[in-house]
A and B are shown apart, each in its own frame.
Chain A
Amino acid sequence: MTKEISIEVKGLSKHFPVTSGVIFSKTVGVVKAVDNISFSINHGETLGIVGESGCGKSTTANLVLGLDKPTSGQIIVQGEDVAKLKGESLFKFRRKVQAVFQDPFRSLNPRKKIRHIVSEPLMVHKVGSSWQIKQKALELLELVGINPQRADLYPHEFSGGQRQRIAIARALSLNPSIIILDEPVSALDVSIQAQILNLLMDLREKFSLTFLIISHDLAVVEHVSTHIGVMYLGRIVELSPAAELYKNPLHPYTRALLAASPVADPDVKLKAVLEGEVPSPMNPPTGCTFHPRCPDCKPECKSREHKMHEITPGHFVSCLNFSS
């Protein structure tokens, strides 16, 4: 496999101002939804980002998709800085990067036939004649396992899993090289989740796609990812190849997440490993943001910020316990 970098994110931050007052509103603080994160994904690889809700996962997805402008930092997708794209070049960028979102009940326009939903990107980008576009839509539906004879039905006539397949068909229509999956299966039944994940992996193989998959569920991410990043309060605290992370989790937060994921054994009782709530991202703790909940907290964790350190090749962690 070539080691060509598909997505490279450098020092990416997104801060949302918090205003108060009705008429003369003033900024009273900022929410650091994404705070100085960096990662890169090679062509054909899959990076899974996990974290609790509110840790900035979906904001990262929006930034990479170019739906939001970053406060600082760069997102370089195949040599282009996404934040600087405008007009025509942004339009061309759309053909390379597509997305699938969480809720299949909200991600398909209820007033359109699924044939039109799948072919809309083709029509917008004027790829081929209308007859070709129609054929392509039917092919795509067949590819994701939807009977093309049902192409003239509306989304409400399909189940959640089928709708997610339709959403995937739409994402594939422009032959993108990158697909951002924002919680692609968390709204689905567990039995359907596996089907959708397997479909995604088949498609990745077939079209040599690069995935950025975002989830709160470690099991989902483990299933499909080659690399995993763990996010906490807008920062990536650990980044590692998938197998390595499960074998040798270093950051206390990663260890807690792994310990908290359910085991298929009714006799094993889950321990609540972490205590307390996620602190407010408007007023994050000093030093290591995880220190108030960390079981291995040292005095200097409260004051010293620390950077990512490479412990073994490709395995980065941001924790004082491993910095020496």
Chain B
Amino acid sequence: MDTLEAEGSVEAKSRARNRIPYIGLGFISIFLFVVIFGQWVAPYDYDYWDMANITQPPVWLEGGSWEHILGTDPLGRDVLSRIIHGSRYSLAIALSCIAVYGTIGIILGLISGFLGGNVDMGIMRLCDLWMGLPPIITAILVVSVMGPSSLAIIVYIGLSGWPGYTRIVRGETMSLAQNDFIRLARVAGCSKFRIITSHIFPNIVNTLTILITLDIGGLIILTATLSFLGLGTQPPSPDWGLMMNEGRQYITYAWWLIVFPGVAIMFAVLGFNLVGDWLRDVLDPKQKLR
């Protein structure tokens, strides 16, 4: 039984290893390359106004030129350069959000799952309560208190996103706590803190890796949405969602202002999702569906 299961999982693992998501990894590599080296790669500064060439179409259309490959906006700013610079905003905001709510969620989940009893009950009910808050209205509330900015987005998502992590970490912790090595750790005299940090946490790292990779894609969309609604990053920052918002009013005659940032979002998210799915198969072949 045990060996059969092990063989099955090994097989699933090697199958997953064999179909490496080159496309997804490619998207992520381009994205990270642009994040790190964008400053030198981008042809212009994101806030450089080329007033001689305002609302210029992309190079392959009539009136386009190689100076502005993806065209310019009504202020003469280069769309390609703004997208390249904007990648940093997307990743930085997404990672900051995960850092905030991941920390809260993981700590609460570990405590809830390991201590059980009334503590668990309290934390779980708090999760239910938190998940019941209507997201957009809460976002507007946070923004009206703090004023629209990237920081407001991080605070809002950071404080609202943790219940999902808490639930998953709690479940994992509870099933791990059944293992004999946890009982033996108690027999050895380990403190609760040591059991949680050195026996339980290392065993949920795989799950967390998968969760975070899959989450980055979703967060890029969410932060772009909030910026699109005007709740987040403010002009003249080249945030992708904000760029789409600014391009909205010109959509009838300057479609490139809204389409190219949208395509950038799509490929970045697609890359993280493809790699996240693959990681799930490799790191956790037993847990096919979640």
Complex: how many Å from CA A91 to CA B199?
A: 19
Using known A-B contacts A105-B2, A110-B203, A124-B194, determine if residue A91 contacts B189 with beta carbons closer than 8 Å: yes
Sampled A-B contacts (21; CB under 8 Å):
A65-B187, A91-B189, A94-B187, A94-B189, A99-B183, A101-B180, A105-B2, A106-B180, A107-B184, A108-B181, A109-B185, A109-B199, A111-B202, A120-B188, A120-B190, A121-B188, A124-B188, A124-B190, A124-B191, A170-B188, A174-B188
Kindly list chain B residues whose C-beta atoms are within 8 Å of the C-beta of A109.
Answer: 181, 185, 199, 202-203
The interface bits of chain A over 70-97 (1 if a CB of B lies within 8 angstroms of the residue's CB, else 0) are 0000000000000000000001001101
Cβ-based interface call for B179 (8 A): yes
C-alpha gap A174/B2 in the complex (Å) = 32
- Does B186 lie within 8 Å of A67, measured CB to CB? yes
Are A125 and B189 in contact, CB atoms less than 8 angstroms apart? yes
Chain A residues touching B, majority SS: loop
Question: Separation in Å of the A278 CB from the closest CB of chain B?
Answer: 24
> Complex formed: what's the CA distance from A110 to B182 in Å?
12
Kindly list chain B residues whose C-beta atoms are within 8 Å of the C-beta of A170: 184, 188
Contacts of B186 on A, CB cut-off 8 Å?
A: 67
Question: Is the beta-carbon distance between A101 and B189 smaller than 8 angstroms?
Answer: no
Size band of the interface chain A makes with B: 20 to 34
Please report the C-alpha to C-alpha distance between residue A285 and residue B184 in the assembled complex, in whole angstroms. Answer: 35
Contact B187–A120 (Cβ < 8 Å)? no
Interface membership of A186, Cβ < 8 A: no
At the interface, yes or no: A40 with Cβ under 8 Å from chain B? no
- Residue among A97, A101, A167 having the largest count of chain B Cβ atoms under 10 Å: A101
Measured as residues with beta carbon below 8 angstroms from the partner, the interface class of chain B is 10 to 19
Tell me the bound Cα distance from A94 to B189 in angstroms.
6
A318 at the interface (CB under 8 A from B): no
Measured between beta carbons, the chain A residues less than 8 angstroms from B190 are 120, 124
A177 within 8 A of B: no
Which of B2, B179, B184, B194 gathers the greatest number of chain A CB atoms within 10 Å? B184
Q: Is the CB of B203 within 8 A of A67?
A: no
Which residues in A have their C-beta under 8 angstroms from that of B202? 109, 111-112
Additional pairs, 19, CB under 8 Å, beyond known A94-B187, A106-B179, A107-B181: A65-B187, A67-B183, A94-B189, A97-B187, A101-B184, A105-B2, A106-B180, A107-B180, A107-B183, A109-B185, A109-B199, A111-B203, A112-B202, A120-B185, A120-B188, A120-B190, A121-B189, A124-B194, A125-B189
Query: A124, B203: Cβ atoms under 8 Å?
Result: no
The A244-294 residues at the B interface (CB cut-off 8 A) are: none
Per the 8 Å Cβ criterion, residues 146-190 of B in contact with A are 179-181, 183-190
CB-nearest residue of chain B to A173: B188
Q: Which of A65, A105, A112, A120 has the most CB of B within 10 A?
A: A120
**Are the CB atoms of A67 and B189 closer together than 8 Å?**
no
A98 within 8 A of B: yes
A residues in contact (CB < 8 Å) with B: 65, 67, 91, 94-95, 97-99, 101-103, 105-112, 120-121, 124-125, 167, 170, 174
Establish whether residues B180 and A95, one from each chain, have CB atoms under 8 Å apart when the complex forms: no
How many whole Å from B255's CB to the nearest CB in chain A? Answer: 52
Can you name the residue of chain A whose Cβ is closest to the Cβ of B201? A111
Rounded to whole Å, the gap between the CB of A122 and the closest CB of chain B is: 9
* B180 touching A103, Cβ below 8 Å: yes
What string of 1s and 0s marks CB contacts (under 8 Å) between B110-127 and chain A?
000000000000000000
Contacts of A97 in B (CB 8 A): 187
The CA of A75 and the CA of B14, in the complex, are separated in Å by 51
Contacts of A102 in B (CB 8 A): 180
CB-CB contacts of B177-220 with A at 8 A, as 1s and 0s?
Answer: 00111011111111100100001001101000000000000000
Cα distance, A243 to B180, chains bound together (Å): 33
Residues of B close to A124: CB separation below 8 A: 188-191, 194
Flag if B180 contacts A67 (CB, 8 Å): no
Q: Which residues of A lie under 8 Å from residue B184 when comparing CB positions?
A: 99, 101, 107, 167, 170
Residues of A within 8 A of B187 (CB): 65, 67, 94, 97-99
Given contacts A67-B183, A107-B180, A111-B202, contact A94 B2 (CB under 8 A): no
Write the chain B residue with the least CB distance to A109: B181
User: Which of chain B's residues have a CB closer than 8 A to the CB of A103?
Assistant: 180
Instruction: Give B161 Cβ to nearest chain A Cβ, in Å.
Output: 27
Q: A residues within 8 A CB of B203?
A: 109-111
Q: How far is the CB of B14 from chain A (nearest CB, A)?
A: 16
A65 to B184 CA separation, bound complex (whole angstroms): 10
Q: How far is the CB of A174 from chain B (nearest CB, A)?
A: 8
In Å, the complex CA distance between A106 and B185 comes to 12
B192 to chain A: closest CB distance in Å?
12
Pairwise interchain contact B183-A101, C-beta atoms closer than 8 A: yes
The chain A residue with its CB closest to the CB of B189 is A94
CA distance A98 to B2 in the complex (A): 27
Chain B residues, CB < 8 A from A106: 179-181
- Closest B residue to A107 by CB, please name it: B180
Considering the complex of A and B, which 7 residue pairs feature the smallest CB-CB distances, nearest first? A94-B189, A107-B180, A121-B188, A111-B202, A101-B180, A106-B180, A109-B181
Residue of A nearest to B205 (CB): A111
Residues of chain B contacted by A95 (CB below 8 angstroms)? 189
Docked pose: A91 CA to B180 CA in angstroms: 19
Closest A residue to B206 by beta carbon equals A111
- With a cutoff of 8 Å between Cβ atoms, the chain B residues found around residue A120 in the complex are 185, 188, 190
Smallest beta-carbon distance B180→chain A, Å:
4
A109–B183 Cα distance when bound, in Å, is: 11
